[in-house]
Structure 1
């Protein structure tokens, strides 16, 4: 078996790592960055955590701070216009998954002829070219985008979250500093944490799993599962924050080299149509989709339960896998994850969109990686079941 692995060329990991951003750029021969972030990072002054050390090293970074929570094609186009108007040699994505994904998409689109729409690169296309290298600095422990060959962009004309994959989306470097997560609010901490746990679990059970990605996934689950409740309840717990941040990056490496599956395929349409944060929509789906998938990969789910510490080595696979589903439900309760109904989504609109959502989920390709591959009718049934928390 030949396994092809991808990862950033440089990973700088640890508390205070952001202060060494200029050193990371210098190692890569970069000195003219366009920093991509969101309005809150800019207005709150948080962006100074990276701008200040760059200035101290004589690097005058410019800032594009127009990113939105669910990155859109229009924002990417505005970013590319800004990129082409300046003299830059790299992009620095600073923030949660949205600024990092926006920076990646900007790099991909800027390599294409003017007038190209970013939808030309959605899967199954391979987005292997980028105009400039991307350096990612995550401020949440969740998306793992700092370590993946993926970006997700919303097509505003079609109300579709597009998965874009390829080496063009792979960051050249990542600076992973858990101290940047201390101020993340509890809801975001929970949502991004479940997102990272979903990455690790889906990568481990994916039909595209491989022994090397498995090691990233297992270690990520060992780090995330015991610490997610802690960071939700005690945001300043440094050890738990450090474990979550490393776990999120390892989970990113895992799914970048194995893939996500049905949860993510079904999650993206929820975000596109109802503007539910990505990690939260994953959480809404995770227990039911896991239970649906168990029969096709029971030993894998059982091993995941043991890695997460919710089942013992002495328990059989059936019992261990059942404990996993119980734990995912308990985790949602403890992290106060609402159902789509409790979130405020109208049942009539939800039901009316289910066929389209199922179609979009299948078109993303992720459900085909699931241990148990569903058809459109089964996806609709799962959506119905999840609506009220069934």
Structure 2
């Protein structure tokens, strides 16, 4: 079977990269954009860094900022209405995964109106047309939604998140500017950074991994281990390192999938509103322990990328433990809690069933079942 790589048509990287947006819009022939962002980025004038450039170049735009931390079906529907009301021909998504995911769903529905029922996009949706032309400007270093073919929407009624995988949703242009990430508070920097690490490690060990994506994932792990602690302290060089690391991780996992750390994280977000990165960080070392006998020699390379010395002289058991311990230590160093007090024994059946049904579960290197998933949840119970 052939391996496939899908990436943005073009991406811009580095400090000040957002200055390219007016020229991009002009080249693409945009006449009016819908800005998709969230209320905090409006409140703290982060989105204004981009809208000021649009004002200067004279590109009209409307702003849609009704995006929740875990975007809902209703968010998407409101965004579709806003796009139509604006008579826009393009989207500029500014934010973390929530704004990006909302923008992707809006863009796909506009060009594929037969999928107006947002639930119909779950899984691998057979859309025919590429989404509305989109420029994606991340403000967090973690989700890599600007370079992936995935997005996640919350179904509030059913208390579940569903994953959509669609090659038509990827933004044509990604503008990855670390200056757009400089206002992230410590907690958000830590959690999104650990989300990126989870992407890299799960992508590296997933069943579909291959040489090209391994290259991306190992470099992402190395960069995250090197830069996340400093990024939490808001050091500019480490902000830039994390901006690149999370994008590289996205280049990989978008094309090969993830595993059950993400399946479980999705359920924790849907049921308890646990921040996605925090949930991933809690589960990553636990899932690594669960999967370790099904990963061959890959944990040796994870340990090496995490900065562990002397791995070539270690036994398999030693380097696997070293890799897991290095992940645990990084998570601890950036302030991620180990336990989730909201998880209750009476919820385990539903949580495990939802995680088993999640689109990320089949990519896990070890076959799993509902009973095993219950046991994994127990490890984060207070």
Aligned to 1:297: 295
Change (3 A) 1:305 1:122: same
Checking the alignment, whether the CA contact within 8 Å between 1:154 and 1:162 is kept in structure 2 is yes
Say whether 1:355 aligns with 2:349.
yes
CA RMSD, 1 decimal: 1.6
Q: Distance in 2 between matches of 1:260 and 1:311?
A: 27
Match for residue 56 of structure 1? 56
2:324 alignment counterpart = 325
- Is the deviation greater in 112-121 or in 288-297? 112-121
> SS in structure 2 opposite 1:12?
strand
135-144 or 29-38: bigger deviation? 29-38
Question: Match for 1:380 among 354, 357, 374?
Answer: 374
What TM-score does the superposition give when structure 1 sets the normalisation length? 0.94
* Mean CA deviation greater in 332-341 or 203-212: 332-341
Task: Output the CA distance in 2 between the equivalents of 1:68 and 1:167.
Answer: 24
State how 1:195-274 maps to structure 2 within 5 Å.
Answer: 195-232=195-232, 234-235=233-234, 237-274=235-272
Q: For residues 115 and 371 of structure 1, what CA distance do their matches in structure 2 show? A: 32
Corresponding residue of 2:24: 24
Task: Name stretches of at least 5 consecutive residues in structure 2 with no aligned partner.
Answer: none
| TM-score of the aligned structures, taking structure 2 as reference length | 0.96
Matched residues in 2 for 1:329 and 1:113: separation?
45
Distance 1:17 1:200, change over 3 A: same
Secondary structure in structure 2 of the residue aligned to 1:94: strand
Summarize deviations over 1:260-281 as a string: whole Å, max 9, x none: 1111011100000000110000
- Aligned counterparts of 1:114 and 1:40: Cα–Cα separation in 2: 32
| Superimposed CA distance per residue, residues 57-101 of structure 1 (whole angstroms, 9 cap, x where no aligned partner) | 121221111111001000100000111122211111101111111
Distance in 2 (CA, whole Å) between partners of 1:117 and 1:282 is 29
Quote the Cα distance in structure 2 between the aligned partners of 1:126 and 1:354. 33
- Cα offset for 1:311? 4.2
Shift of 1:28: 2.9
Q: CA deviation at 1:116?
A: 3.1
Give the equivalent residue in structure 1 for 2:278.
Answer: 280
Deviations 1:102-148 (A, max 9, x none): 10011122234378321111114345644412211001101000100
- Conserved? CA contact 1:302–1:318, under 8 Å: no
Gaps in structure 1 of 5+ consecutive residues: none
Mapping of residues 120-269 of structure 1, within 5 Å: 120-127=120-127, 129-232=129-232, 234-235=233-234, 237-269=235-267
Q: The residue matched to 2:217 in structure 1 has which SS?
A: helix
The CA distance in 1 between the partners of 2:97 and 2:77, in whole Å, is 18
Aligned residues: 381
Deviation at 1:2, TM superposition (A): 2.5
Q: Indicate how the Cα distance of structure 1 residues 117 and 340 shifts in structure 2: closer, same or farther if over 3 A, else same.
A: farther
Moved over 6 A (4+): none
Change (3 A) 1:223 1:115: closer
Deviation at 1:364, TM superposition (A): 1.6
What CA deviation, in whole Å up to 9, does each residue of 1:20-62 have, x standing for no partner? 2112223333342101001111122221100111121121221
Which secondary structure state, in structure 1, belongs to the residue aligned with residue 164 of structure 2?
strand
Compared with structure 1, are the counterparts of its residues 128 and 260 closer, same or farther at alpha carbon in structure 2 (3 Å cutoff)? farther
Evaluate the alpha carbon distance shift between residue 252 and residue 110 of structure 1 in structure 2; reply closer, same or farther with a 3 A threshold. same
Q: Is the aligned partner of 1:338 residue 2:332?
A: no
Any idea what the Cα deviations from partners look like across 1:262-305, whole Å, max 9, x if unmatched? 11011100000000110000011111111110000041122111
CA-CA distance at 1:175 after TM superposition: 0.2
CA–CA distance in structure 1, aligned partners of residues 115 and 172 of structure 2 = 26
